[in-house]
Amino acid sequence: MREEKEVKTNNQVLDLSVDLQKESYDWKKDIIINKVKFIEEVEGALKDKEITSLKKKVYSISTVVNYPKNDNMGLRNIDTNGDTVVLKKGPLLEELKQIREAQTIERAGYYLERLKKGVTEIKTSKVNDINLNRWKEYTDILTDSLWILDKRDSSGAHCAGYWGNFIPQIPHQLMMRYTKKGEWVVDTFVGSGTTLIECRHLVSCN
């Protein structure tokens, strides 16, 4: 178990589990990965017949994600052919950890296939642009309830000048869940324009 958590690089012992906690604050941080190399590494691990060896391969990937300077696989080499993928660091590390913690090779294989799918295939529904193969990356979409919201967003043009206008997070969440990029949003009771402001916000963010 200890071996699972430690790696020696440049004579320095690094504990990835500790680093995972430390990094939780930058869950949304983008990292650019060489897609071809990444798939090669995942497929290499998938071919493994022995779980310890499979986990070691996955562990090496985690090390490169955490410590790009120790990249001996070319995973962070984005110049070779330009075929790159942008992933969120937190969810990626979590998926890799889940594989390392799998009890059976079948389960580890299942997680690896899912990881590969997340990088190679986009799966969306008819109602929004959420890539279901990478759903963990959408930390700004609330899935517990639409009504449990943090403090009212009063940034930018929003103002809470009169009773009756939307808490801006409500149209934001609705549009994230029920519109695709470029679609029209009808709000016949425009009021102070909360929905319009949020539309503009989404357009400028995407």
Pick the closer one to ligand SAM by CB: 111 or 166.
Answer: 166
Residue 119 near residue 46 (C-beta atoms within 8 A): no
CB of 196 to ligand SAM, least distance (A): 9
For 47-55, the CB contacts below 8 A with 24+ separation are 48/105, 49/105, 50/105, 51/102, 51/104, 51/105, 51/108, 54/99, 54/105, 54/108, 54/109, 54/112, 55/4, 55/99, 55/100, 55/102, 55/108
CB of 94 to ligand SAM, least distance (A): 36
Token duo for residue 81:
């052919």
Asked if 34 and 83 count as a contact pair (C-beta separation under 8 A), the reply is: yes
| Residues that contact ligand SAM, how many (by CB under 6 A) | 7
Out of 166, 173, 198, 199, which residue is the one contacting ligand SAM (CB under 6 A)?
Answer: 166
> Using CB under 6 A, which of the segments 19-27, 30-38, 132-140, 160-168 binds ligand SAM?
160-168
Tell me the per-residue interface mask from 41 to 80 with ligand SAM, x by CB under 6 A, - otherwise: ----------------------------------------
Q: Provide the mask over 172-201, with x wherever binding to ligand SAM is found by CB under 6 A and - wherever it is not.
A: -----------------x-xx-x-------
Rounded to a whole number of angstroms, the minimum distance from the CB of residue 202 to ligand SAM is: 16
User: Does 165 engage in binding with ligand SAM (CB under 6 A)?
Assistant: yes
Closer residue to ligand SAM (CB): 131 or 165: 165
Question: Would you say 184 or 189 has its CB closer to ligand SAM?
Answer: 189
User: Is there a contact between 84 and 78 (Cβ–Cβ < 8 Å)?
Assistant: yes
DSSP E strands in the chain: the ranges are 6-9, 12-15, 30-34, 84-88
One-letter amino acid identity for 149?
Answer: L
- Rounded distance between C-alpha atoms, residue 33 and residue 65, angstroms: 9
Token readout for 102 is 């799998």
Q: Which residues bind ligand SAM (CB under 6 A)?
A: 164-166, 189, 191-192, 194
